C-alpha cells in the first residue's frame, strides 16, 4: 500500500509518500506554514499515485481513541476540538481539507496524538476538579505526541534488543513542543501534557506548567484579558521568553559565549526535563530505557548529557558516543543500569501502521 502521510505540527508541515516502509517522496514546508493548495500538492506528488492518505491529528478528544477513517461527521467532530489545541488542530484540518479536495477518491485516515494515552489509568488522567466540570466538559488529562511516543518506545526496545512488553520506557519527545511519556509494556501510563498541549515541560514558545493561581492573578490584578494570557502562554513564553530565542541551537551557542540569559533558559529547560523524567520513572516504578527523540532530543547532545547527569540516581549514565550520536543509537555507558538511546522520530511510520490497521485489518 502506497500511503501519503500528512504530518502537520506546530512548527512544520511534513509530507511523505511511503511505499510500505520505504520512503518514496518527501517534502517539508517551512515553519509557520498553515497548509497548502492543490497546486502545491500536485507539484509534490508529480506522477506518484497513492492508495491511501494518513493524517496526523493532534486532538481526538474522548471519542477518537484509535485511527479512524475520515468523513464529514468525523471532520466536524475534530473542528469542535480546535479550542483544545489551537496551535495544531487548525493546521491538521487545513491539510485534511486541501488533500481531500485534490485526492477526493482516495480513502483517508486520521491518526491521533491523544489516542496512545487512552490507556492511562484513571489516577493519571484525572484532575482534582469538581465532578460536574469533569463530567460536563470532559475535563481530564489527554496527553499528546502519542504517535511519537508509541513509535519511540517500540524502536527503543528494538535498539536494546529486548521485548517491549517487558520494558519500562521513558520517552522524551523534545521538539518545538515537548513532552514525556511513561510506557509500561507498550502502553502509556503517564505523560506530562494534559488537557491541552500547554501543560508540562518548557517548550520553544509555550510555557509548560505554571501555577493556575498565577493565571487568575494576571487576569484579576494585572488586567490581562483571556486572549492576552492565552497568546502569551502559547506564543511568547518558553525558551523564547527566557532566552530571547525559540531555537535551542542558538541558545546553546550563546550560552557557550557567556550569555547569561541563554544560560538561564537552558538551566530551566533541563531542570524541568530531569524532574519530569524522574516523575515518569515514579509512575513506572522504575525505568529500564530512557529514549530521546524529536529535534532537540536527537540533535542536542549537551541537553541529553545535562539531563542524564541529574538522573544518575536512577541508574542513567551515558557514554562517549553521545556527542556523535545521530539517528537510532544506543548511547549508554558500559554497564549502565538504565539503557539510554536516541531514536530518530518517525511519526510517519506510526501513521502508516494506523492507516493499514483501518484499511487492511488483519
At residue 37, the pLDDT reads 57
- Domain 2-112 of CATH type 3.30.420.40: yes
pLDDT confidence bin for 33, thresholds 50/70/90: very low
pLDDT confidence bin for 10, thresholds 50/70/90: low
pLDDT in tens, 175-209: 999 999 999 999 999 999 999 999 999 999 999 99
User: Quick one: CATH architecture of 146-342?
Assistant: 2-Layer Sandwich (3.30)
At residue 329, the pLDDT reads 97
Stretch 4-23: mean pLDDT: 80
Taking a C-beta distance cutoff of 8 angstroms, is the pair 173, 149 a contact? yes
At residue 8, the pLDDT reads 76
Which DSSP letter does residue 224 get? -
pTM for this model (two decimals): 0.93
Q: How many residues does the chain have?
A: 362
Contacts of 195 (CB under 8 A, 6+ apart): 84, 127, 139, 140, 141, 142
pLDDT confidence bin for 91, thresholds 50/70/90: confident
Q: Which residue has the higher pLDDT, 34 or 174?
A: 174
C-alpha to C-alpha distance for 283 and 168, rounded to whole angstroms: 10
| 7 pLDDT more than 70 | yes
pLDDT in tens, 342-355: 999 999 999 999 99
At residue 87, the pLDDT reads 73
Backbone angles phi, psi at 102, to 5 degrees: -80, -30
Longest dimension (CA), the chain: 60
Mean pLDDT of the chain: 93
Taking a C-beta distance cutoff of 8 angstroms, is the pair 172, 33 a contact? no
Taking a C-beta distance cutoff of 8 angstroms, is the pair 85, 107 a contact? no
pLDDT confidence bin for 29, thresholds 50/70/90: low
Taking a C-beta distance cutoff of 8 angstroms, is the pair 347, 148 a contact? yes
At residue 190, the pLDDT reads 98
Q: Would residue 97 show up in a list of annotated catalytic residues for this protein?
A: no
Same fold, 2-112 and 146-342: yes
| 308 pLDDT more than 60 | yes
Stretch 231-255: mean pLDDT: 97
- Burial of residue 51 (CB within 10 Å: 0-12, 13-18, 19+) is middle
Domain extents in the chain: 2-112, 146-342
Query: Bridge partners of 4?
Result: 17, 53
Q: Which residue has the higher pLDDT, 33 or 302?
A: 302
Stretch 206-230: mean pLDDT: 96
C-alpha to C-alpha distance for 351 and 281, rounded to whole angstroms: 27
pLDDT confidence bin for 362, thresholds 50/70/90: low
Of 19, 28, 39, 113, catalytic: 113
At residue 9, the pLDDT reads 62
pLDDT confidence bin for 32, thresholds 50/70/90: very low
| 34 pLDDT more than 70 | no
Amino acid at each position: 500500500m502506497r500511503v501519503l502521510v500528512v504530518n502537520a505540527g506546530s512548527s512544520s508541515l511534513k509530507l511523505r509518500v511511503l511505499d510500505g516502509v520505504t520512503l518514496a517522496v518527501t517534502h517539508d514546508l517551512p515553519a509557520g506554514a498553515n497548509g497548502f493548495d492543490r497546486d502545491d500538492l500536485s507539484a509534490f506528488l508529480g506522477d506518484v499515485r497513492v492508495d491511501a492518505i494518513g493524517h496526523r491529528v493532534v486532538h481526538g478528544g474522548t471519542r477518537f481513541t484509535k485511527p479512524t477513517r475520515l468523513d464529514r461527521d468525523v471532520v466536524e467532530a475534530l473542528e469542535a476540538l480546535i479550542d483544545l489545541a489551537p496551535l495544531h488542530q487548525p493546521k491538521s484540518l487545513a491539510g485534511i481539507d486541501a488533500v481531500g479536495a485534490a485526492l477526493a477518491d482516495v480513502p483517508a485516515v486520521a491518526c491521533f496524538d491523544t489516542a496512545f494515552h487512552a490507556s492511562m489509568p484513571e489516577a493519571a488522567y484525572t484532575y482534582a476538579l469538581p465532578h460536574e466540570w469533569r463530567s460536563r466538559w470532559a475535563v481530564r488529562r489527554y496527553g499528546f505526541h502519542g504517535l511519537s511516543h508509541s513509535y519511540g518506545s517500540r524502536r527503543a526496545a528494538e535498539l536494546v534488543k529486548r521485548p517491549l512488553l517487558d520494558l519500562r520506557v521513558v520517552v522524551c519527545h523534545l521538539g518545538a513542543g515537548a513532552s514525556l511519556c511513561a510506557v509500561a509494556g507498550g502502553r502509556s501510563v503517564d505523560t506530562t501534557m494534559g488537557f491541552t498541549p500547554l501543560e508540562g515541560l518548557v517548550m520553544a514558545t509555550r510555557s509548560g506548567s505554571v501555577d493556575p493561581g498565577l493565571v487568575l492573578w494576571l487576569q484579576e490584578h494585572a488586567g490581562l484579558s483571556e486572549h492576552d494570557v492565552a497568546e502569551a502562554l502559547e506564543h511568547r513564553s518558553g525558551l523564547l521568553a527566557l532566552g530571547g530565542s525559540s531555537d535551542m541551537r542558538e541558545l546553546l551557542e550563546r550560552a557557550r559565549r557567556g550569555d547569561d540569559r541563554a544560560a538561564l533558559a537552558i538551566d530551566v529547560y533541563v531542570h524541568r526535563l530531569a524532574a519530569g523524567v524522574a516523575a515518569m520513572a515514579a509512575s513506572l516504578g522504575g525505568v529500564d530505557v530512557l529514549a530521546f527523540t524529536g529535534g532537540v532530543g536527537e540533535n542536542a547532545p549537551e541537553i541529553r548529557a545535562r539531563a542524564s547527569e541529574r538522573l544518575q540516581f536512577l541508574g542513567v549514565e551515558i557514554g562517549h558516543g553521545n556527542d556523535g550520536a545521530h539517528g537510532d543509537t544506543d548511547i549508554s555507558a558500559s554497564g549502565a543500569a538504565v539503557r539510554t538511546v536516541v531514536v530518530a522520530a518517525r511519526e510517519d511510520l506510526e501513521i502508516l501502521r494506523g492507516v493499514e490497521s483501518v484499511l487492511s485489518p488483519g
